Amino acid sequence: MPRVDFYLLSSESGMERFACIVASKAHTAGNNVYIHTNSEDATKKLDDLLWTFRDVSFIPHEVYDASENNEAPVTIGFGDLFPDHRQVLINLDGNIPEFADKFSRVIEIVENSENKKEIARERYRLYKKDNYEIHNHKIDSLKENLPI
């Protein structure tokens, strides 16, 4: 079973920015990354943010398209399709994707609101029930020198 890391943010916003930081760190460590969102709009928003979240560089990425040869180290998508690589999945959907167990590592980012924490607790219970290796991390600020 994959390893699942839950990152609890200290604020009620910042999930997308933190996802960019995690994707950058995972890519820099030599991993391919798939960021799973809940909609086409969320995918487009994250695509735009990955180009601009840093002033001096960008993360090489593309929106996942099953009909093309996706070669970027970071891909973003939604729905039931996912890329061939199976290294790091950053899940920004409120549900666990059916294909989560195909990845070596799953990242769950939880914003600090009671509603979102309750949804994350349900995902945590489901991962636990399926015997995933779970790790929890509390994030106090969105700095890029965080251990990921």
Domains with residue ranges and CATH for the chain: 3-139 (3.40.50.10110)
DSSP calls for 21-66: HHHHHHHHTT--EEEEESSHHHHHHHHHHHHHSSSS----EEE--T
Residue 19 reports pLDDT greater than 70: yes
What global pTM score does this model have? 0.90
What digits encode the pLDDT tens for the residues 54-91?
Answer: 766 677 888 887 667 667 889 999 999 888 888 999 99
Segment 25-63, tens digit of pLDDT: 999 999 999 999 999 999 999 999 988 877 666 778 888
- The answer to whether the beta carbons of residues 148 and 57 sit under 8 Å apart is no
